Amino acid sequence: MRLVIDLQAAQGPSRHRGIGRYSLALTRGLLRSRGEHEVFIALNGLLPHTIDEVREALAGMVPDEHFLVWDAPGPVDGANPEYDARREAAELIRESALAALCPDFILASSIFEGFGENIVTSIGRLASIPTATVLYDLIPLIHRQVYLPNEQVEKWYESKLGHLKNADLLLAISESSRQEALDWLGVGDGQAVNISTAADDHFSPAPVDKNTRRYLEKEYGLERPFVMYTGGIDHRKNIEGLISAFARLPLDVRCAHQLAIVCSVQEPDRHRLLKLAQDEGLASGEVVLTGFISEEDLLACYRSCKLFVFPSWHEGFGLPALEAMKCGRAVVVGNRSGLPEVVGLESALFDPFDIDSIQAKILEVLTDDRFRAELERHGLKQAGKFDWNNTAQRAWAALEASHKRRTLAGLSPATAPKSLRRPRMAFVAPLAPDASGISDYCAELLPELAKHYRIDVVHPRGTVDHPWIRSNCAVRDTRWFRHHAYEYDRVLYHFGNSQFHSHMFDLLHDIPGVVVLHDFFLSGVVSYREGSGEKPGAWSQALSYSHGWQAVSRRYAAKDPDEVLWEYPCNLPVLQDALGIIVHADYSKQLAQEWYGSEVAQDWQFIPHLRQSLPNVNRERSREELGIPADDIVVCSFGVLGSSKMNHRLIEAWLDSPLGQDPRCHLVFVGQNDQGEYGSRFERMIRSSKLAGRVEITGWADHATFRRWLDAADIAVQLRTLSRGETSGTVLDCMNSGVATIVNAHGSMAELPRDAVFMLKDEFDDADLRDALVTLWRDQSRRLSLGARAKEHIKRHHQPRQCAASYAEAIERYYARAASGGPGLIRAIMENDSAGELDWINLSGSISRSLPLSPRRRRLLVDVSVLVQVDARSGIQRVVRSILSQWLAEPPLGWMVEPVYADLAGRCYRYARRFTSGFLSVPDYWCEDDVVETYPGDIFVALDYHPEILTRQHDILQEWRLRGIHLHAVIYDLLPVLLPEHFPAGTKEGHEGWLKAVSQFDSVACISRSVADEFKDWLENNAPERQRPLLVNWFHLGADTEQSLPTKGKPSDAEQQIALLREGPSFLAVGTIEPRKGHRQVLAAFEALWAQGVQAKLVIVGKMGWQMDEFAARLRGHPEIGRRMFWLESITDEYLDDIYRVCSCLLVASEGEGFGLPLVEAARHGIPALARDIPVFREVAGPNAVFFANKKDPKAIADAVKKLLSESANSHKVDKTWITWKKSSQDLLACILQNKGGAEDVLHDGGIEADRRSGFVGVQN
Amino acid sequence: MHSKSVHSILDLLALPVPDFVAVSYEMLLGRRPDSQEMQERSGVVRAGLGRARFLADMSRSPEYRQVNRRKLEESDDEAYVADLFVRYLERSPDPAGLRHYTALLRSGRKRTRILADISNSREARVKRTFWFELELLLADELADRHWAARWIGRARRRERQRNRMTEVLCQRSIVPLSVSMGESAASGATLRTSQRPVVQSYGDTRNLGRNARRLLARVSLLRGAAF
């Protein structure tokens, strides 16, 4: 059984107490004892701040994909009559979203919610899905005059009561509340079940130490043994009675005790109660009103009270009494409603309406120590009966029983009684004279389907050339249909892969209906739409939408775009727009699962192709008309010729067999020859063979000729290869006319029964085919029996009437589902909105978020917000480019990669389609940068870095995260925060804001272990409050520049420069001229070296950054410039490559880096490095570098250079292995997907493995 | 498709610049501008070319002529007449009308004559479809370029051009593009029927994704029928 629990009660204002706590505890109990059952949790997106808390409370018990967060435009609270229309819309959306999960049962944690807040509860407004709800009590109904004081409250309560009556099962929290349901709601005995309740385990007996006593005395003034009450101030709680009773105690007893009323109390109530105490003659301090106290203090109060009194005259259950009993206290309660069953002891009861009775009971307990001890003992024992596991098991048992009753009674909507009038159907299909197999099919189907529906056919022309249709159906054109679509109860679309279907795409988009998918591949008609100008760019749009960027680049890279036609089906929009799919072969289902995942196509209906059984075949007359002698053997192949029909293979086998030698054997291809190259080659092949007279192509055969050949044939051969899920009608025609048919087990033909056709292997060889021909040629009886069985099979399984009945059944089933899905929801909301008050634009956004598209691909939304605007060619952008190009070329299995960017003005994200087209060098005329809609399971990757954009989009991203979109960020460094003095003013603050934003993500990947460590340190001191853990991981960057679209070109003096550098030992410093990079220290070191006469050259490569103007001026005017010192500003990647090659050592003096890409590049060129001794350089360069001490003194560098020059060149072997961008992008992907279950292989770098274990940084409140 | 929300020439002229360019391309040339064209043409409009002038330039482009010539020459007679009917009368031809015009065509009457006949018909002048208005605008605009025609009826033309732009301005202020429904709902206000903005105004739906737009299309289809 699939149970959806609506946990809004745990999101409301009382989420920390009472009903909220009960709902969460019950849910946890249900999850623990779920056994085989599936449990989904539905949450309300209008209360975003509570979602994380609930998710965390259920962490590890419910998988991520079992959370549904639905959404509706707010506010919707019941107190405001102006919100009525919006609230009703929200109720419908909620029901529709829950119904989309296909639950067997819904459990509403509380129905009486939402008067003062955005909680939405309803039962059976849209969908009649079995619903259970927890019933706490019916106090407002029973004590109307007190609890329903004004019209608005009464209206609200009555409407909720109306919904409650729609519930199939009430789970009462006590026997007394069950009894209330029976008495006041008139529900049947089996419809209300007592599942009881339990108190949290931390309520337990324990001695109270002196410190606690002192604390209670100081904090609340509880200095004497006290009588305790807790549980809210309310009329029915009868606190007034308790105070009066306490006042009537004998003076000595009263003076030895206090009365503690432990709960939050409003100021007017406090005055009223204290005044009452005074009037009753109580001194100040005898009654203590604590006001709101913490959970800890409450426990202390329970444990230290002498007696707990609960004088309420109406309770659903009376949880405080149970909690006090669990703490081992003596408890006395009123003898009404739920309380007696909680306490379970006659002598602990009193009459709450009788002050003297209360007084007497209190007096008895306070003065009779034995009695008190007995009550304490009994309480502990009685409390043991209440346990969450018992409650959960009772709830499951009740749900199971109710589910079973319903199943037995067959009350599911599918078998609900049908109206006697046939529903009206619009039948959208190609029809004669359209030259398409599907139009013939439809002409056969229509007369039978008309038994179930009143049918109008819809055709772009508005005219149809078929006598039955013309006389029995109204024929409408598409324009008319658009204006009258609402008049139809059902719409049926026949989709196929030819131009006759091109008008259906837009119709289906706007007018939902059931789709018969004759061909799985719709690429042909989609490209026709583009080519004919009907919808510019349609093909590329469909490729990108259904299959992602890889398919788009494939289209434009292919020499012959037609090749790509058969590579991608392009049918996702149709599958998403359809209310249900009908196919003629299981093969289509297989294809759907291969293309869109194993979840797809499970509800697709398979209906065999239909064939009217033919009257007796008149072989002789047909032969006579065709001029074929009666005794000759005729082998036919039916249908349009083409390479995919393997006609040439048939000829070859035929020529190779005795049939080819026998003048009384004929081979006939009944159908039009291929118009292309294949056709002309085939024709030459026939003409050149010496048997030209006995092999024939008939050309296009009309119905009568086709039929004549079917009658005349002895053997039919129908071969297929490269099938794309289309259904082959001609094989069925052959079988229907009783011809012995040879087929190969390809595509849908593999599903034919083996005893009714001669089945070859899918990839048969020529000998197989030849043997088959010979067998059937020689063995007449086998021919006849095979044909007879084929005919019988068609009669049994393809009978039109039976198929039409299956159609009706499937269509009705799909429409029953649609009634609670999108189409039903829209209609229902519109019916409610007769005044036209609703904001449909907001609504449609909410609905699309609450009812995700299906089927859909999971997507990796890669943020390239900066790159879209400008390619700054910075280090970060190089990373973005490299990783993006890898991901686009090879998306992870089962995922689509979609670059997106922030639209700050529109407050949304958009697909970066135009940018990506340019990035992949494909035309962009077809695409639009549409708004991104996200669905649970998608992943957002903040790959680009821009502090402002991300912080401004923070709200959007958090909204996504709460709905189950995984947020992931790449952290390049923390330098602006760690070394703020090296950056322009404001950089630190910006970066901190960015770090704060990403620390609210689900996971981050840093570009080195060092950065990950720094980030974790930063988190410890600065992390904002989180409810859920943040996963910190790291990966390394690639070094093959050619993958990051390197820049090309060299200046004219490049050769001279390189020759100069080659001469002596040259040290290369690569990096922007900015304070952090340590250029000042390097120059000072080399000046010192030159002064000492050391012959070493210094090459600085890097463009001017910030805060270094004076240094730049010094460099430009330096006496050594152009001699022993060179500064190459902004050079291309190609030139830099040459420089690396001729230098002897890389010098990395930067005081902090995220990664240190030059170190890897140096290793790649085989030159050693001299680097500052900081953790990230040790991590990245490893043994390939010599380190100098991390000091600012130039001598540190100078000494290291001297030492290096004194050693022999061979002493620094460089390990030339470096990781590629391909590997790097895979590593990053592994970091991202590891907890999403998408990657098959996440084991690679030991670093990631190790870190995964230690990488959970759970920062709780 | 933007072009669907454009029902009159004023709708077109009132669009934001990039949309105006894109929709003009779609309606006149039957295709979308590529990004370079988009940038360049939006630029000239921003620089003050004038929207009417922009459309006139486009109507004189070889591409537009070719598209038109294709229309004029390639379709069969029935389809051609039907197309004219839809363009200028917003309906498919009645059988009598269709017969009449196809007979004329068969008797050798030129297609341009038929076009003139239909586009100047009484019905067309009453209905004033987008294409009717567009041609009027183009005629005004092109007349100003001809050396001889320039002075004839100039004052009236100028007045018409001025008034047209006034209408565009009025239209923009009536359809509260900037007062999107999202904002008011977010602030918790309930919209009274009297102040309810036009639901299907162009600007409001631009921040919706594909799925939401599909829902809206389905709603407006039902709604169009229901009201």
What value does the mean pLDDT take over residues A804-833?
Answer: 91
Q: What is the largest CA-CA distance in chain A?
A: 131
Peptide bond into A899 cis (omega under 30): no
Sheet holding A287-289, edge to edge: A287-289, A258-262, A226-230, A307-310, A331-334, A349-350
ipTM greater than 0.85: no
Alpha carbons A1200 and A1089: distance in angstroms, whole number: 11
Greater confidence (B165 vs A491) lies with: A491
Q: What residue in A sits closest to B90 (Cα-Cα)?
A: A479
For A363-392, the pLDDT digits (tens) are 999 999 999 999 999 999 999 999 999 999
Q: Which of residues 81-100 of A touch B (CB under 8 A)?
A: 82-83, 86
Q: Residue A727 has what pLDDT?
A: 63
Alpha carbons A204 and A143: distance in angstroms, whole number: 35
> Long-range pairs for A150-154 at CB < 8 Å and ≥24 separation?
A152/A78, A152/A79, A152/A81, A153/A115
Q: What is the three-class DSSP state of A668?
A: strand
Token pair of A384 as six digits: 């043991």
Q: Indicate left, alpha or beta for B48 from its phi (over 0: left) and psi (-120 to 50: alpha).
A: left
- The model's pTM is 0.79
The residue behind tokens 């967060």 is A69
Peptide bond into A433 cis (omega under 30): yes
Closest-CA distance, B213 to chain A, in angstroms, reads: 7
pLDDT value at B4 more than 80 = no
Closest-CA distance, B151 to chain A, in angstroms, reads: 41
Is residue A701 within 8 A of residue A670, CB to CB? The reply is yes
Quote the radius of gyration of chain B (alpha carbons, Å).
Answer: 20
CB atoms within 10 A of CB B162: 10
pLDDT value at A1118 more than 60 = yes
Alpha carbons B174 and A589: distance in angstroms, whole number: 52
Nearest to A826 among B207, B213, B219 (CB): B219
Angle at the Cα of B38 from the Cα atoms of B37 and B43, rounded to 5 degrees: 100
According to CATH, the topology of domain A210-384 is Rossmann fold (3.40.50)
Q: Which of residues 57-76 of B touch A (CB under 8 A)?
A: none
Q: Which of residues 229-258 of A touch B (CB under 8 A)?
A: none
Flag whether residue B194 sits within 8 Å of chain A, measured between CB atoms: no
Token pair of A287 as six digits: 């009654």
Judged by CB atoms closer than 8 Å, whether chains meet at B225 and A484 is answered as yes
Q: What are phi and psi of A924, to 5 degrees?
A: -120, 15
Flag whether residue B195 sits within 8 Å of chain A, measured between CB atoms: no
Q: What is the three-class DSSP state of A875?
A: helix
pLDDT value at B185 more than 60 = no
Architecture of domain A1047-1218: 3-Layer(aba) Sandwich (3.40)
CB atoms within 10 A of CB A745: 17
Calculate the average pLDDT of chain A.
88
Q: Residue A908: enclosing H or E segment and its boundaries?
A: strand A908-911
According to CATH, the topology of domain A619-798 is Rossmann fold (3.40.50)
Number of A to B CB contacts under 8 A, please give it: 113
pLDDT value at A1242 more than 60 = no
**Do A424-599 and A619-798 share a fold?**
yes
Question: Strand A580-583 vs strand A605-606: parallel, antiparallel, or unpaired?
Answer: parallel
Of A66, A115, A74, A64, the residue nearest A94 (C-alpha): A74
Token pair of A713 as six digits: 């044939």
Alpha carbons A959 and A51: distance in angstroms, whole number: 10
Is residue A823 within 8 A of residue A76, CB to CB? The reply is no
Is residue A1005 within 8 A of residue A1011, CB to CB? The reply is no
Task: Please state which CATH number belongs to domain A424-599.
Answer: 3.40.50
Cα dihedral sign, A994-A1000-A1005-A1009: positive
Alpha carbons A564 and A561: distance in angstroms, whole number: 5
Q: Residue A1236 has what pLDDT?
A: 45
Flag whether residue A664 sits within 8 Å of chain B, measured between CB atoms: no
B219 CB neighbours in chain A (<8 A) are 826, 830, 840, 844
pLDDT value at A102 more than 70 = yes
Question: Could you tell me the pLDDT band of residue B183, with boundaries at 50, 70 and 90?
Answer: very low
Q: Which of residues 553-612 of A touch B (CB under 8 A)?
A: 577
What value does the mean pLDDT take over residues A700-715?
Answer: 88
The residue ranges of every structural domain in chain A are: 2-194, 210-384, 424-599, 619-798, 858-1038, 1047-1218
What value does the mean pLDDT take over residues A242-251?
Answer: 93
CB atoms within 10 A of CB A222: 23
pLDDT value at A1252 more than 60 = no
For A603-626, the pLDDT digits (tens) are 999 999 888 888 777 888 889 888
Q: Residue A941 has what pLDDT?
A: 96
Flag whether residue A839 sits within 8 Å of chain B, measured between CB atoms: yes
> In this prediction, what percent of chain A has a pLDDT beyond 70?
95
For A995-1020, the pLDDT digits (tens) are 999 999 999 999 999 999 999 999 98
Q: Indicate left, alpha or beta for A328 from its phi (over 0: left) and psi (-120 to 50: alpha).
A: left
pLDDT value at B171 more than 60 = no
What value does the mean pLDDT take over residues A642-669?
Answer: 88
The residue ranges of every structural domain in chain B are: 1-174, 199-226
Is residue B92 within 8 A of residue B86, CB to CB? The reply is yes
Alpha carbons A1213 and A375: distance in angstroms, whole number: 85
- What one-character-per-residue DSSP string does A420-479 give? SSPPEEEEE---TTS--HHHHHHHHHHHHHTTTSEEEEE-TTS----HHHHHHSEEE-HH
Alpha carbons A57 and A11: distance in angstroms, whole number: 12
Q: Residue A1045 has what pLDDT?
A: 65
Q: Which of A410-424, A451-465, A736-750 has the lowest mean pLDDT?
A: A410-424
- What one-character-per-residue DSSP string does A78-144 give? TT-GGGHHHHHHHHHHHHHHHHTT--SEEEES-SS--SSSS----SSSS----EEEEE---HHHHTH
* Per-residue exposure over A553-573, b if at least 16 CB sit within 10 Å of its own CB, e if not: bbbeeeeeeeebbebbbbbbb
Q: Is A1202 exposed, middle or buried (0-12, 13-18, 19+ CB in 10 A)?
A: middle
Alpha carbons A1170 and A1065: distance in angstroms, whole number: 13
pLDDT value at B5 more than 70 = no
Residues 6+ apart with CB under 8 A from A454: A422, A423, A424, A425
Beta strand ranges found along A522-621 (DSSP E)? 580-583, 605-606
Alpha carbons A1022 and A4: distance in angstroms, whole number: 38
Q: Which among A841, A922, A928 is the top mutation candidate for probing chain B, defined by the most B β-carbons within 10 Å of its own β-carbon?
A: A841
Q: What is the largest CA-CA distance in chain B?
A: 67
CB atoms within 10 A of CB A932: 23
Is residue A638 within 8 A of residue A776, CB to CB? The reply is no
Q: Residue B36 has what pLDDT?
A: 83
Is residue A972 within 8 A of residue A1011, CB to CB? The reply is yes
pLDDT value at A1259 more than 50 = no
Amino acid of residue A512: P
For B192-203, the pLDDT digits (tens) are 333 333 333 333
Of A637, A689, A688, A694, the residue nearest A663 (C-alpha): A694
What value does the mean pLDDT take over residues B9-30?
Answer: 84
Question: Strand A2-6 vs strand A38-44: parallel, antiparallel, or unpaired?
Answer: parallel
Closest-CA distance, B139 to chain A, in angstroms, reads: 28
CATH class, A2-194 region: alpha beta
Judged by CB atoms closer than 8 Å, whether chains meet at A925 and B188 is answered as no
> Long-range pairs for A1203-1209 at CB < 8 Å and ≥24 separation?
A1204/A1145, A1204/A1168, A1204/A1170, A1205/A1065, A1205/A1094, A1205/A1096, A1209/A1144
pLDDT value at A894 more than 90 = no
Q: Is CATH 3.40.50 correct for A858-1038? A: yes
Beta strand ranges found along A1133-1255 (DSSP E)? 1145-1148, 1169-1172, 1185-1188
Q: Residue A517 has what pLDDT?
A: 95
Closest-CA distance, B133 to chain A, in angstroms, reads: 24
Judged by CB atoms closer than 8 Å, whether chains meet at B218 and A826 is answered as yes
pLDDT value at A1253 more than 60 = no
